[in-house]
Each structure stands twice: as structure tokens, then as C-alpha cells.
Amino acid sequence: MGWAAAMAVVAAVLCAAAVARGEVVDEFGAGASFIFGDSLVDAGNNNYIPSLSKANMTPNGIDFAASGGMPTGRFTNGRTIADIIGEMLGQADYSPPFLAPNTTGGAILNGVNYASGGAGILNATGKIFVNRIGMDLQVDYFNITRKQLDDLLGRDKAKEFLRRKAIFSVTVGSNDFLNNYLMPVLSTGTRISESPDSFLNDLIFHLRDQLTRLYTLDARKFVVANVGPLGCIPYQKTINRVGEDECVKLPNQLAAQYNGRLRELLIELNGNLPGARFCLANVYDLVMELITNYPNYGFQTASVACCGNGGSYEGLVPCGPTTSMCDARDKHVFWDPYHPSEAANVLLARYIVDGDSKYISPMNLRKLFSL
């Protein structure tokens, strides 16, 4: 008997015993998170591809308890925002990376993580990293998982599991600006030939298609994050040489324009796709709140990266074994030139799971999960 089959037998025995005791049992357990996106939520997929966008080296993961402080491919010092949200919603374990060899059988009932550092909505995004798993390919990979769920649970149960107990989390778009439209060398042709409005149209067109494809594969409960204030990350502040309390205007303007279009798209999809619930996580305003009022949240700096090197904000060289690292990791909003620290991720996750409509709408994730 295979491991997955053995686990299914054990689960059935435990379930029968609980029913005999008169307990209410949910056959699908604590639920699942299927995670799509970029390095903000990558749990290690890029470890398995030849990419220049990797975090499987120290000191990344130094505060990640599940690995004993060893790097896992997460682009932060500890848990990603997706990890923390899964914990808060009672998920039994972290959603494993799709490309990890042990992401098979019963493991996929916790959900699966398809996110990839350097990924974007557009396939051309992130070329600088050589390889990355863009959103189109991430949805293709979910299609493989979808068939595995049919094999594991049977077609009807798999459909019920996905529609009732699974949350589909999408955190993507930053690289379409940082490593595509705003890139000085690689995308000069794009910038000259395409106006901002035309580029945004392109992004929304492709994202609509990607989200609709997930819906046709039985995804129903979605949380889609908007793009954060890109002009405030240490990398952008360093290369543009702005003051400590300033952010770079153009990246933030583009992010705000995209976010307006994203809000309209999710309203449209909520109206057009029967049974679907699309929630918008307002990461832009959440991160701006943290950056603006960082002392109120126990941080010492919202401009200097904890791990990195170069310029006033340690914002040029990504975190790695040879870069400097701060002592008080929980006092920095940013872990490295691009990504929040675990301490910042914990605060962001709390607002998305239990917050009000300023930061998560039309309902928070705890409400969405309970539907």
C-alpha cells in the first residue's frame, strides 16, 4: 500500500471513530491554500530551476523555525505572508512548492505553492533572471494538480474540496514593473513603444484570462493582492537617491494606476463568474501605512534593508552569504532590497485575515474561508 493510500485509510478510521463519538467532522480537514505569484510568496520553486532569482542561501530563512533557520528558497528571514495567512486560517502545514519532489499524494491536500521569484503576469517579465515560472505556466501547473486531486479524491469530491475548502491566493504584478516596464536596459523598446495605459491594458487582459482559467478549474475563493508602493523599496530608493522619508514617484504612480484597474477587474469578475468570490488585498495602502508610521508598529527603520549592501539603504546587492546583515531583524520593515521582513509580513497578514474593508474587501479572509 502506498503512503497516500495508507494515510487515507488512517484518516477514514479516525473520522469513523470521531463520528461514533458524536463529533462533527469535516472530511477535508483544515483547508488548503493554492498560492500563485512572485518572490513575495515563493516557498522554494526557484530552487528547482536554473534561475538567477534564488534565495536558497544564507542568511535567508534564518528565522524560519520549520527549517531550523536554514534557507528554503523563501525571499525573507522567516515566513512569507502566504505562510502566515495559512497558519492563521488553521492550515495543517505550509503549502509545499509545486516543483519539490515530495509534493505528491496527500501532501497536496494542504494546497500547493506555484509562486516563483521573478515571475510576472506577462511571460516576458523577468527575462533578466533567465528562468522563472510566469503566471501562465503557474496556472498550467495547477491544471496538473487538479488532475491529481481527481485521482486522490474522485471527481465530485475534488470539485467540492476546491470550491468549499480552498483559497486561491494571487500575489503578482510587481515584477511586471520592476523587471519589465521600468527596467532601464532590457525594456527600453517596451517603454518607448508602449504608453503606460497600453501596458496596463496588457496586464489586465492577461490577468483576467489567468483568473478565469483558474475559475474553470473549480477555484472559487480568491484573494488577489494589489501591487505595493514600489518606489519605497530600498532598491528603488537607492538607485534614485531619494531622501529617507521620500519614495520614488513614477513606480508608485504606475502601481496606483494598475491597482485602480485591478479593483475594476475584480468587481467585473465577481459580477460575471457565478459562485466566485474575489477579494482585493490592498497591500499598497497597508505597506504605506507601515512605512509612514513604522515607529508605531515597533520598527526602527522603513528604508534600510536588514540584509544587503550598497548605497544609503543597503539597496543594491541582494541578500546572500557575503552581504551585511542587521542585528535587530524584527526592527526592519524590509529584509532585503525588495522584500518585507517576517515581522512586517506578520502585520500585513493580520490585516488581510481579520482586517476591515480599508485593507481587504469586500470581506476579510476569515469570512471568505468560512463561506
Where in the sequence numbering do the catalytic residues fall? 39, 336, 339
Check: CB of residue 121 under 8 Å from CB of residue 132. no
Distance CA 183, CA 88 (A): 36
**Per-residue three-class SS string for 100-156:** CCCCCHHHHHHCCECCCCCCCCCCCCCHHHCCCCCHHHHHHHHHHHHHHHHHHHCHH
Give the amino acid at 234: P
**Per-residue three-class SS string for the chain:** CCHHHHHHHHHHHHHHHHHHCCCCCCCCCCCEEEEEECCCCCCCHHHHCCCCCCCCCCCCCCCCHHHCCCCCCCCCCCCCHHHHHHHHCCCCCCCCECCCCCCCHHHHHHCCECCCCCCCCCCCCCHHHCCCCCHHHHHHHHHHHHHHHHHHHCHHHHHHHHHHHEEEEEECCHHHHHHHHCCCCCCHHHHHHCCHHHHHHHHHHHHHHHHHHHHHCCCCEEEEECCCCHHHCHHHHHHCCCCCCCCCHHHHHHHHHHHHHHHHHHHHHHHHCCCCEEEEECHHHHHHHHHHCHHHHCCCECCCCCEEECCCCCCCECCCCCCEECCCHHHECECCCCCECHHHHHHHHHHHHHCCCCCEECCCHHHHHHC
Check: CB of residue 74 under 8 Å from CB of residue 44. yes
Distance CA 82, CA 169 (A): 8
